[in-house]
Amino acid sequence: MLGVLGKGRRMICSLLTQAPFPLAYYSSPSSIYKAKPSGYLPRISSGFLGPISCSAILAFCSKSGEVGGMASSLQNQGSITYLTQREAAEIDEVLMGPLGFGVDQLMELAGLSVATSIAEVYKPSEYNRVLAICGPGNNGGDGLVAARHLYHFGYRPFVCYPKRTSKPLYSGLVTQLESLSIPFLSVDELPVDWSNDFDILVDAMFGFSFRGAPRPPFDNLIEKLVHLNNYKQMQQKSPVIVSVDIPSGWHVEEGDVDSEGIKPDMLVSLTAPKLCAKKFSGPHHFLGGRFVPPSIAEKYKLHLPPYPGTSMCVRIGKPPQIDISALRENYISPDFLEEQVEADPIDQFRKWFNDAVAAGLKEPNAMSLSTTGKDGKPDGSTREAASPTGILKKIWELFKMCQNFLKKFAFPRTKYEKHAYNLSSSRMVLLKGVDKDGFVWYTNYESRKARELSENSHASLLFYWDGLNRQVRVEGSVQKVSDEESEQYFHSRPRGSQIGAIVSKQSTIVPGRHVLHQQYKELEEKYSDGSLIPKPKHWGGYRLQPERFEFWQGQQSRLHDRLQYSPQEINGKRSWRIDRLAP
Ligand SMILES: Cc1cc2nc3c(=O)[nH]c(=O)nc-3n(C[C@H](O)[C@H](O)[C@H](O)COP(=O)(O)O)c2cc1C
């Protein structure tokens, strides 16, 4: 093992002698404010349009005289850009120089990226105990920040930070962690066998500007991480390893040269992956950090995937190999008891809907609508239509009679659900109103759902609010809303959506997207004067009048809450009966 590290050191040293400026970041953490470059790179974001001027970068670039070569080498790296150590340092210098970033800002964002990447894959309910092993430089600082975020995400972090630096940035991070009562473990206090005591090990020892062979105690700590591979090979339980930017001990460009180094399960590359990341063969490769303006990405021809939504990390590399059967969530939710719920299910619905809005869930009004056609077969076609004629038809009719008899008399309702043999179709629609009369959505009156509803007005709605572990089922009968109501809503929509509704003969086959675009363009032109766009006859709303509700909330060990509301009449007075159903 030490031999491997020694070899790595030679290679890194030879690289560093070629660098156009000192890469003293790791070896001299105390010089963090002076040393250029630092261990940070710009974080590339395709979604962020910052006000940083291109001329500032150009000014720097023309001074360095290296950009042309670098840009072309970046361009040739395939669909994702992998950086050499030198390229990484160059970009870093721009960031820490003309772009005016501070090391503390970058460290905060890097640590947050690491923590969010971990949270994407390893849920705190299953992987709770995290040991962050932090080196003395910026990579270690990223680990300290990540530990703090992980605490707030519901993990139980421990920190091993054997070579502390007294710089205010680092001592501040230590104070923050101590104030959260996060234990700091010395190397001697670490358990001999890590396989039982931790679920996640964060390797935040050395970053991309590391040089030299790891010195004690980091050489031994790396060796312990390497040793965990043996457990994995023997299919024994062992913690997962998450490396920050560079798996410690790896060559920044060559990777795990003798295949005897750390084999992380997750690598969180910061800003852009370094060349060594090409050798990463673990299941989870993420890119972290998100604040660099597109001008840098363009200038340096960085090809990196866009970050989704507001995420601080994005998966790169191969898609996750997931064992679907092993996917399971252990829900933890507040109490949901009969005595707490509203007597009226619409009021209860509003309460949960407001919770979903307050939780910032995306499209909390999205709901699945399930419909069935005549005889339960979707799309309005009947079983008879597909059946043969003549004698076979007679047999078919006899079969149908028996089936109806069984439905009516042979099985009590609770055992034989009304639609148990029926097929149905589902799709998402958006709830546009809810009151005592029911749930409203808008659509095309000639669509498949509309055809099915015209044959069978019974339908069901389903809301699922991930993040709150909640689901609401609503069943009832559906009617069209009044023309005035549809008219009013139609004209409240953006003009583009109004034109879209005219163009789309929903659920019919179209020869290609261009046809829709062509029609859209023509109508856009036609109504470019701002005149009223008439609501097409085939477009309008539906209202489902609820007959039954079920409110479901996930709980631990699959002992979920299910409260069903069904109508009842007591002394001529209608009310809702509430029953708890077995999960
Ligand atoms: C989140 C989401 C919301 C949707 N909202 C609507 C809607 O409000 N009305 C609608 O007609 N289609 C909506 N759609 C599209 C439908 O799911 C469906 O593709 C379309 O209505 C055609 O369905 P049909 O062929 O079964 O009639 C939505 C899709 C998604 C994913």
Q: Provide the pairing of β-strand 470-480 with 266-270.
A: unpaired
CATH number at residue 473: 2.30.110.10
- DSSP annotation of 144: H
CA-to-CA dists, residue 229 to 174, 226, 359, 391, 446, angstroms: 30, 6, 40, 70, 60
Q: Which atom of ligand 1 is nearest to the CA of 430?
A: 8
Cβ of residue 363 lying under 6 Å from some atom of ligand 1: yes
Q: Is 502 helix (H, G, I), strand (E, B) or coil?
A: helix
Q: Which pLDDT belongs to residue 259?
A: 86
Task: Look at residues 257, 289, 321 and tell me which one is the last residue of a structural domain.
Answer: 289
Please indicate, yes or no, whether residues 216 and 279 belong to a single structural domain of this protein.
Answer: yes
Distance 539 CA to ligand 1 centre (A): 13
Q: Which atom of ligand 1 is nearest to the CA of 506?
A: 22
Please indicate, yes or no, whether residues 343 and 396 belong to a single structural domain of this protein.
Answer: no
Give the residue numbers of the binding site: 138-142, 203, 207-213, 245, 248
Structure tokens at 283: 């299941």
Distance 512 CA to ligand 1 centre (A): 19
Task: Look at residues 289, 305, 320 and tell me which one is the last residue of a structural domain.
Answer: 289
Give the residue numbers of the binding site for K(+): 139, 203, 248
Please indicate, yes or no, whether residues 486 and 539 belong to a single structural domain of this protein.
Answer: yes
d(Cα 414, Cα 107) in Å, to the nearest integer? 59
Distance 442 CA to ligand 1 centre (A): 9
Q: Which residues contact 477 (CB under 8 A, 6 or more apart)?
A: 457, 458, 459, 544, 545, 547
Distance 441 CA to ligand 1 centre (A): 10
Cβ of residue 449 lying under 6 Å from some atom of ligand 1: yes
CATH number at residue 162: 3.40.50.10260
Q: Which pLDDT belongs to residue 390?
A: 60
Residue from 372, 430, 539 whose mutation best tests the ligand 1 pocket (most atoms within 8 A of CB): 430
Residue nearest to atom 12 of ligand 1 (CA): 429
- Residue 437 in any domain: the answer is yes
| Structural domains of the chain, count | 3
Looking up tokens 């997931």 gives 322
Q: Which pLDDT belongs to residue 13?
A: 33
Distance 487 CA to ligand 1 centre (A): 19
Please indicate, yes or no, whether residues 202 and 264 belong to a single structural domain of this protein.
Answer: yes
Distance 519 CA to ligand 1 centre (A): 20
Q: Which atom of ligand 1 is nearest to the CA of 451?
A: 27
Q: Which atom of ligand 1 is nearest to the CA of 366?
A: 1
- Residue 192 in any domain: the answer is yes
Q: Which pLDDT belongs to residue 299?
A: 77
Q: Which atom of ligand 1 is nearest to the CA of 369?
A: 17
Distance 314 CA to ligand 1 centre (A): 28
- Residue 91 in any domain: the answer is no
- Residue 166 in any domain: the answer is yes
Task: Look at residues 251, 272, 289 and tell me which one is the last residue of a structural domain.
Answer: 289
Q: Is 567 helix (H, G, I), strand (E, B) or coil?
A: strand
Please indicate, yes or no, whether residues 125 and 268 belong to a single structural domain of this protein.
Answer: yes
Three-state SS string across 414-466, please? CCCCCCCCCCCEEEEEECCEEECCEEEEEEECCCHHHHHHHHCCEEEEEEEEC
Cβ of residue 300 lying under 6 Å from some atom of ligand 1: no
Please indicate, yes or no, whether residues 271 and 395 belong to a single structural domain of this protein.
Answer: no
Cβ of residue 424 lying under 6 Å from some atom of ligand 1: no
d(Cα 241, Cα 243) in Å, to the nearest integer? 6
Give the residue numbers of the binding site for (6S)-NADPHX: 138-142, 207-213, 245
Q: Which pLDDT belongs to residue 245?
A: 97
Looking up tokens 């030679």 gives 10
Residue from 369, 370, 426, 428 whose mutation best tests the ligand 1 pocket (most atoms within 8 A of CB): 428
- Residue 327 in any domain: the answer is no
- Residue 402 in any domain: the answer is yes
Residue from 427, 442, 447, 451 whose mutation best tests the ligand 1 pocket (most atoms within 8 A of CB): 427
396: containing domain:
378-423
Distance 506 CA to ligand 1 centre (A): 9
Q: Which pLDDT belongs to residue 193?
A: 84
Q: Which atom of ligand 1 is nearest to the CA of 448?
A: 27
Cβ of residue 507 lying under 6 Å from some atom of ligand 1: yes
Q: Which residues contact 510 (CB under 8 A, 6 or more apart)?
A: 516
- Residue 158 in any domain: the answer is yes
Q: Which pLDDT belongs to residue 451?
A: 95
Please indicate, yes or no, whether residues 111 and 145 belong to a single structural domain of this protein.
Answer: yes
Residue nearest to atom 22 of ligand 1 (CA): 507
Please indicate, yes or no, whether residues 446 and 385 belong to a single structural domain of this protein.
Answer: no
Please indicate, yes or no, whether residues 354 and 417 belong to a single structural domain of this protein.
Answer: no
Please indicate, yes or no, whether residues 495 and 405 belong to a single structural domain of this protein.
Answer: no
Structure tokens at 63: 């001074």
Q: Which pLDDT belongs to residue 410?
A: 53
Please indicate, yes or no, whether residues 174 and 110 belong to a single structural domain of this protein.
Answer: yes
Each residue's pLDDT, cut to its tens digit, for the chain (583 residues) gives 333 333 333 333 333 333 332 222 222 233 232 333 333 443 333 332 222 222 222 222 222 323 333 322 233 335 889 999 988 888 888 888 899 999 999 999 999 999 999 999 999 999 999 999 999 999 999 999 999 999 999 999 999 999 999 999 999 999 999 999 999 999 999 998 888 899 999 999 999 988 778 999 999 999 999 988 777 666 677 899 999 999 999 999 999 988 889 999 999 999 999 999 999 999 999 999 897 778 778 878 888 889 999 999 999 977 777 788 888 888 989 999 999 999 999 999 999 999 999 999 999 999 999 999 887 654 444 344 444 556 777 777 777 777 666 655 554 443 334 443 457 899 999 999 999 999 999 999 999 999 999 999 999 999 999 989 999 999 999 999 999 999 999 999 999 999 999 999 999 999 999 999 999 999 999 999 999 999 999 999 999 999 999 999 999 999 999 999 999 999 999 999 999 999 9
Active site residue 558: yes
Residue in 350, 383, 451, 558 annotated catalytic: 558
Please indicate, yes or no, whether residues 403 and 458 belong to a single structural domain of this protein.
Answer: no
Cβ of residue 428 lying under 6 Å from some atom of ligand 1: yes
- Residue 73 in any domain: the answer is no
